[in-house]
Amino acid sequence: MKTKLILIILVLTSTFSFAQTKVADEFFENFAYIKASELYQDAVKNGDDSVHVLTRLGDCYYNNSNSEKAAMWYKKALDKDADEVSAEHLYKYIQTQRSLGNYQEAEAWLDTFKMHQSDDSRSNSEIEDLSVYDELSSMEKVYIDVVNLDLNTEYSDFGGYEYNGRMFFASARSADGTGNKVYNWNEQPYLDIFETTVKETNGVKELGSVMAINADGINTPYHEATVAITNDGKTIYFSRDNLNKRNKLDSDRKGTTHLKIYKATLDNNNWKDIEELPFNDDNYSVYHPALSPDNKKLYFTSDKEGGLGQTDIYVVDILEDGNAYGKPMNLGASINTAGREGFPFIAKDSTMYFSSDGYVNLGLVDIFKSNILKDSNAKPENLGAPFNSGYDDFAIYIDSDTETGYFSSNRPGGKGNDDIYTFSAYECKQLVKGVVRDKDTNEPISGATVELINESGKIINNVTTNQNGEYIFEVECEKNYSLRGSKPDYEHDVQSFRTTAVNNEEQNVDLFLKNLLAVPCEIVINPIFFDFDKWNIRTDSKYDLENIVDVMRAYPDMKITIESHTDRRGTLKYNDKLSDRRANSTRDYIISRGIAAERIVSATGYGERRKLISDEEIDAMSTREEKEAAHQKNRRSHFRIVDCEEDQQN
Instruction: Compute the distance between CA of residue 121 and CA of residue 51 in angstroms, rounded to an integer.
Output: 25
pLDDT digits (tens, 9 = 90+) for 326-370: 999 999 989 987 667 999 999 999 999 999 876 655 556 788 999
Q: When comparing pLDDT for 65 and 462, which is higher? A: 462
- Specify the domain boundaries for CATH 1.25.40.10 within the chain: 2-128
Q: Domain spanning 2-128 has what CATH number? A: 1.25.40.10
d(CA 581, CA 586): 9
Cis bond before residue 386 (omega within 30° of 0)? yes
CA pair distance 162, 453, nearest whole angstrom: 43
- CA–CA dist 316, 426 (Å, integer): 34
- Look at residue 521 in the predicted model and tell me its pLDDT: 87
Question: What torsion do the CA atoms of 552, 553, 558, 562 make, to the nearest 10 degrees?
Answer: 20
pLDDT of residue 123: 52
Strands 506-508 and 429-438: parallel
Q: Inform me whether the pLDDT recorded for 619 exceeds 70.
A: no
pLDDT of residue 132: 39
Q: Kindly tell me if the per-residue pLDDT of 572 is higher than 80.
A: no
- CA-based end-to-end distance of the chain: 50
Tens-place pLDDT, residues 129-158: 444 333 333 345 556 788 999 999 998 899
CATH no. of 429-515? 2.60.40.1120
Q: Which residues contact 572 (CB under 8 A, 6 or more apart)?
A: 607, 608, 609
- CATH numeric code, 142-427: 2.115.10.20
Residue 299 CA to residue 317 CA, distance in Å, equals 9
Percentage of residues in the chain with pLDDT exceeding 90?
42
CATH number of the 522-641 domain:
3.30.1330.60
Higher pLDDT among residues 287 and 180, named by residue = 287
Torsion of CA 176, 177, 182, 183, to 10 degrees: -100
**Gap between the Cα atoms of 230 and 323, Å rounded:** 13
CA distance 263 to 98: 51
Residue by residue, DSSP assigns 558-593 as: --EEEEEE--SSS-HHHHHHHHHHHHHHHHHHHHHT
Asked whether residue 305 carries a pLDDT value surpassing 50, the answer given is: yes
Cβ neighbour number for residue 625 with a 10 Å cutoff: 9
Nearest alpha-carbon partner for 560 in 637, 503, 625? 637
Amino acid making up residue 498: R
- Give per-residue pLDDT as tens, 241-258: 887 777 777 777 777 778
d(CA 513, CA 64): 23
Position 171 pLDDT exceeds 90: yes
Residue 179 is predicted with a pLDDT of 46
- Where are the domain boundaries for CATH 2.115.10.20 in the chain? 142-427
Largest CA distance in the chain: 121
Choose the most confident range, by mean pLDDT, from 335-339, 408-412, 633-637: 408-412
**Per-residue model confidence as pLDDT tens digits over 365-387:** 788 999 999 998 899 988 877 88
Amino acid 87: pLDDT: 83
Residues 467-484: pLDDT tens digits? 999 999 999 998 999 999
Tell me the H-state helices in 358-507: none
Residues of the chain with CATH 2.60.40.1120: 429-515
